[in-house]
């Protein structure tokens, strides 16, 4: 993940000063343990300023409004208690080239600052610290005790001390090319590494874009650079410093991240705030998505493994109970041929009543024939009782397996993060598993406010232009089938295979052509566990013929008066 460097921080602060000073502080909301959102209002607009001290994604930028879930963090409550209703009057760096921004708050513009919110953009040491006018710490996002750092503890009531000053050489617009080149090439090495060693205030991403703009490979050694190479690179170096001084920035998306200088940009961004918000939201969502998908997959795999072992145990016991009639038959034979028994026998062979074939019956030598027969009758009764007890248990476990396999199929279809809808669909699955008591809520803390699962369906169009909606998880499946589906629609599902509910939307009087039915069946097959098969049986029926059994888990339904059609998932797969 590309870190916010001094250049990016300068660019975003420059844009914030131009558009958000002065602004009234209306609200503070803490999105998560690393990010607060401050509602700012000017004479013309209102928006949310995100301040994050995330170790990999520290940033300051205008962002989307926070969710409507309750804020349970104390840091945000302390901030709004002090800053609520005050004016944000200045956004300054505490010193040249230092990545610490001082947000100053006063009663009204033109007055002295009452509070300072220092945002330290320093990777894993990033922090947000609120002080009073005398720089005494009121609260901090991350308090640092004396035991954690004897050099710079950060605790309530103590004076705020700035981070240790930069020790390296600071870039200077007045430095000559000769001196600059001597400093960079003093020790032979790759040009990127040598510039990073020679100067403070730079980042790897900035140098990559600068070297790209100068048409020089980052791995080129300094001792093989030509005079022309040095000239081009120094020109870009000067251009960078001039842009910093003048506040001239060109935000854009690059192949590997973003730039605020336009170098290597593929897609221009509307502004720096939008660029940073989009980039870090996507990166964090991607990270969250990967972690959550892995956790859910592992958890389901473990639960299903245990359930399958339990189911097999029940099946084995049922298989044993199939011998119940065999024990009774042996007991009947023994009772009918008591005269053949002799003391001390361990086995007796008697002819079967119906087939006449010899049947070997194991005996206990210390019991007589009647006692051995009684023991066989008891085993018969015991196995019959076991069947009556085990069958409902097996049915219950099998229903649980079917449900979790349906959930597993839904997760397998959300293969990678593409949009926020992918993460939301996965979070809905997590929330469902929490509600069904398969996950502990504390272990999988909810981070989204998913209200109803009716906005993130997969959407397709048939050859005739009819809309097809596809559920992405069990809650969406239920919502689609029982709340969205109309009287004229058709409902599709892979036959007896875990998969999504699929709805072919039809207007009154409209008739789906054969091509529409085939296309929808292909989709139902593709969004099922049979995705890798050549052909998958798919059923379709009217939505009013689909029912949810009483007490059934999310996504599980029964249907009637269905028609079977063969779906070809590979047709859809080749288009994706």
pLDDT tens digits, residue range 218-252?
Answer: 999 999 999 999 999 999 999 999 999 999 999 99
What whole-number distance in Å separates Cα of residue 160 and Cα of residue 460? 57
Cα 471 to chain centroid, rounded: 18
3-state SS, residue 428: helix
User: Could you report the per-residue pLDDT of 136-178, keeping only the tens digit for each?
Assistant: 999 999 998 888 877 788 999 999 999 988 888 999 999 999 9
Task: Over range 434-451, report the average pLDDT.
Answer: 66
Q: Tell whether the model's pLDDT for residue 468 goes beyond 70.
A: yes
Taking the domains of the chain in order of start, what are their residue ranges? 6-140, 177-269, 301-450, 458-575
Cα(308)–Cα(312) distance, integer angstroms: 6
Provide the pLDDT for residue 151: 79
The per-residue pLDDT of the chain, averaged, comes to 91
For 171-195, the pLDDT digits (tens) are 999 999 999 999 999 889 999 999 9
pLDDT of residue 453: 41
Confirm if 488 and 510 have CB atoms less than 8 A apart. Answer: yes
pLDDT in tens, 495-542: 999 999 999 999 988 899 999 999 999 999 999 999 999 999 999 999
**Three-state secondary structure string covering 165-227:** CCCCECCCCCCCHHHHHHHHHCCCCEHHHHHHHHECCCCHHHHHHHHHHCCCCCCCEHHHCCH
Asked if the model's pLDDT at residue 447 lies above 60, the reply is: no
> What integer pLDDT is reported at residue 452 of this predicted model?
46
| CATH number for the domain running over 177-269 | 1.10.8
Q: Which CATH number describes the domain made up of 6-140? A: 2.30.310.10
pLDDT at 430 over 70: yes
Comparing 220-229, 441-450, 552-561, the range with the smallest average pLDDT is 441-450
Fold matches, 6-140 and 177-269: no
pLDDT at 353: 85
Query: What's the pLDDT band for 327 if we cut at 50, 70, 90?
Result: confident
Percentage helix, strand, coil for the chain under 3-state DSSP, each rounded to 5: 40, 20, 40
Q: Where are the alpha helices (DSSP H) in 322-368?
A: 324-336
pLDDT surpassing 60 at residue 448: no
Residue 450 is predicted with a pLDDT of 43
Q: What is residue 389's predicted lDDT score, i.e. its pLDDT?
A: 83
Environment class of residue 199 by beta-carbon count within 10 Å: exposed (0-12), middle (13-18) or buried (19+)?
Answer: buried
List the one residue out of 479, 490, 459 whose CA is nearest residue 559.
490
Please answer whether residues 384 and 324 qualify as being in contact, where contact means their C-beta atoms are separated by less than 8 angstroms: yes
Task: Determine the Cα–Cα distance for residues 494 and 382; give it in Å rounded to an integer.
Answer: 41
Q: How far apart are CA 416 and CA 423, in angstroms?
A: 9
Cis omega (within 30 of 0) for bond into 480: no
Q: What is the pLDDT of residue 108?
A: 93
The tens digit of pLDDT for each residue in 32-68 reads: 999 999 999 999 999 999 999 999 999 999 999 998 8
- The residue with greater pLDDT, 252 or 386, is 252
- Six-digit token string for 469: 């909606």
pTM of the predicted structure, to 2 decimals: 0.77
């Amino acid at each position: 993940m590309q870190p916010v460097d001094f250049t990016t921080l300068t660019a975003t602060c420059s844009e914030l000063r131009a558009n958000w000073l002065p602004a009234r502080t209306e609200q503070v909301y803490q999105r998560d343990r690393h990010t607060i959102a401050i509602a700012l209002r000017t004479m013309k607009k209102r928006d949310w300023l995100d301040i994050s001290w995330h170790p990999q994604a520290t940033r300051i930028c205008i962002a989307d409004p926070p969710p409507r879930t309750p804020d349970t963090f104390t840091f945000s409550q302390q901030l709004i208690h002090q800053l609520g209703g005050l004016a944000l009057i200045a956004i300054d760096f505490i010193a040249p080239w230092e990545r610490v921004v001082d947000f100053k708050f006063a009663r009204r513009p033109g007055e002295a600052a009452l509070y300072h919110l220092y945002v330290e953009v320093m990777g894993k040491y990033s922090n947000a610290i609120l002080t009073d006018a005398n720089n005494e710490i009121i609260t901090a996002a991350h308090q640092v005790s004396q035991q954690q750092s004897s050099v710079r503890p950060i605790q309530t009531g103590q004076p705020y001390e700035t981070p240790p000053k930069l020790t390296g050489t600071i870039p200077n617009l007045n430095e000559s090319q000769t001196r600059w080149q001597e400093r960079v090439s003093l020790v032979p090495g790759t040009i990127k590494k040598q510039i990073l060693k020679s100067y403070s205030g730079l980042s790897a991403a900035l140098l990559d874009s600068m070297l790209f703009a100068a048409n020089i490979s980052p791995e080129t050694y300094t001792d093989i650079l030509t005079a022309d190479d040095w000239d081009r690179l120094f020109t870009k170096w000067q251009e960078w410093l001039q842009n910093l001084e003048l506040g001239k920035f060109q935000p854009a998306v690059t192949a590997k991240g973003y730039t605020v200088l336009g170098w290597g940009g593929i897609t221009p961004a509307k502004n720096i705030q939008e660029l940073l918000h989009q980039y870090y939201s996507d990166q964090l969502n991607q990270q969250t998505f990967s972690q959550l998908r892995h956790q859910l997959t592992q958890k389901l795999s473990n639960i299903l493994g245990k359930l399958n072992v339990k189911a097999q145990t029940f099946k084995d016991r049922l298989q044993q109970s199939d011998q119940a009639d065999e024990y009774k038959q042996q007991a009947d034979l023994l009772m009918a041929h008591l005269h053949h028994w002799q003391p001390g026998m361990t086995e007796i062979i008697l002819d079967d009543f119906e087939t006449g074939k010899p049947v070997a019956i194991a005996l206990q030598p210390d019991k007589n024939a009647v006692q051995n027969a009684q023991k066989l009758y008891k085993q018969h009764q015991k196995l019959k009782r076991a069947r009556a007890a085990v069958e409902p248990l097996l049915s219950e476990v099998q229903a649980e397996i079917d449900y979790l396999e349906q959930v597993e199929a839904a997760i397998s279809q959300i293969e990678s993060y593409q949009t926020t809808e992918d993460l939301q669909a996965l979070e809905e699955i997590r929330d469902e598993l929490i509600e069904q008591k398969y996950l502990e809520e504390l272990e999988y803390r909810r981070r989204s406010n998913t209200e109803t699962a009716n906005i993130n369906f997969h959407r397709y169009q048939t050859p005739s232009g009819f809309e097809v909606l596809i559920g992405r998880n069990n809650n969406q499946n239920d919502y689609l089938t029982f709340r969205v589906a109309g009287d004229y629609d058709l409902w599709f599902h892979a036959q007896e295979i875990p998969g999504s509910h699929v709805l072919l939307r039809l207007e009154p009087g409209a008739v789906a052509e054969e091509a529409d039915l085939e296309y929808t069946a292909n989709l139902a097959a593709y969004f099922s566990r049979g995705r890798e098969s050549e052909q998958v049986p798919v059923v379709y029926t009217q939505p009013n013929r689909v029912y949810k059994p009483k007490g059934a888990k999310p996504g599980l339904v029964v249907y009637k008066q269905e028609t079977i059609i063969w779906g070809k998932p590979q047709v859809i797969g080749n288009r994706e």
